[in-house]
Amino acid sequence: MTLWDVQTKALKQVWGAGLAGAIRTLPPIKSRTVRNHGTLDPSLGRMGALEVRLATTKKDIRKAQRLRYKVFFEEGHALADRRSSLARRDICPFDRICDHLLVIDHAARNRLGQVKPKVVGAYRLLRQSVADAHGGFYSAQEFDIAPLLARHAGKRFLELGRSCVAPEYRSKKSIELLWRGIAAYMQHYRIDAMIGCASFAGVNPLALALPLSFLHHHAQASGEWAASALPERHVDMNMMSREALDLRRALDALPTLVRGYLRVGAKFGAGAVVDRQFGTVDVLVIMPVAEIDAKYLEHFSPAARAA
């Protein structure tokens, strides 16, 4: 006997079969819309059964949190607080103000073999106008980005974060869909620059001397785009000389996401930060839109998506 049957039997005993029967025929409760994206269509692209779209309901956001929990806490080495552990969701205060980009597999099946769409990829997006109204960007907890933002007053920044893809979906198609979604979102809100934290697994910076030194020597942001880790959290990335670097090995040691950022022309802040809660060493990604390789902007643009 299912829990529903037990509850229905109890209702019959207390209130009679009439009310219990009426309850059975009530329509399912729909998840309340909590994100209205105005003229931006939440559905931002599709490849076969996979769709990239913006979350519009609390249920959507919870699904993204569940995926993040599986990737960061069950697969990775993040330490969940009591609330996240009990809910089996990666719950973060910033989720309340961010937009959430999802990749959904509409052909996924549950344990009974029934088709049940599921969230298999996620990104969190925070526009500067929203961040300014709610205390700032998430990355400001690790990096001193205030001078960077001040130098570009009037420009629109977008923070990317909490990127994850389910293990069985870590393919070019899923990553490309996420980037197509970001491109459409970026174009709609006329974003001028993107920032965010990217992570290396592990909390020992010395074990990451090769890739961190590579970013320091070959991809560090300078001039008006320079930024640094907060002084109290700063870990020097200059651990190996430029001459000592094996470039091929250094590139191979970069996480896929960092390598992708680098490919489109991103630069990185000075200094890394150890995030012990998530079991990572973080670097700051800085991507001025005007400096992104034109071929990638064209490839991921909404016009290319339509084609």
What pLDDT, on a 0 to 100 scale, did the predictor assign at position 233? 98
**pLDDT tens figures, 69-111:** 999 999 998 999 999 999 999 999 999 999 999 999 999 999 9
> Can you read off the two tokens belonging to residue 20?
């219990």
Cα–Cα distance list, 102 to 51, 134, 195, 241, 296 (Å): 8, 23, 19, 40, 21
Cα 299 from Cα 176, distance rounded (Å) = 10
Cα 101 from Cα 79, distance rounded (Å) = 24
DSSP code of residue 113:
S
CB within 8 Å of 270: residues ≥ 6 apart: 216, 220, 221, 226, 227, 228, 229, 237
What pLDDT, on a 0 to 100 scale, did the predictor assign at position 9? 52
- Mean pLDDT for all residues in the chain: 89
CB within 8 Å of 264: residues ≥ 6 apart: 287, 292, 293, 296
**pLDDT tens figures, 7-34:** 445 434 434 444 334 334 444 445 577 7
Provide the sign of the torsion angle of the four alpha carbons 255, 257, 262, 267, taken in this order.
negative
The CA dihedral of 96, 78, 265, 95, to the nearest 10 degrees, is: 0
Q: Is the pLDDT of residue 240 over 70?
A: yes
> Can you read off the two tokens belonging to residue 69?
């929990």
Give me the mean pLDDT over the 155-159 stretch: 98
Residue written as tokens 């103000």?
97
Would you say 144 and 228 are in contact if contact means Cβ atoms under 8 Å apart? yes
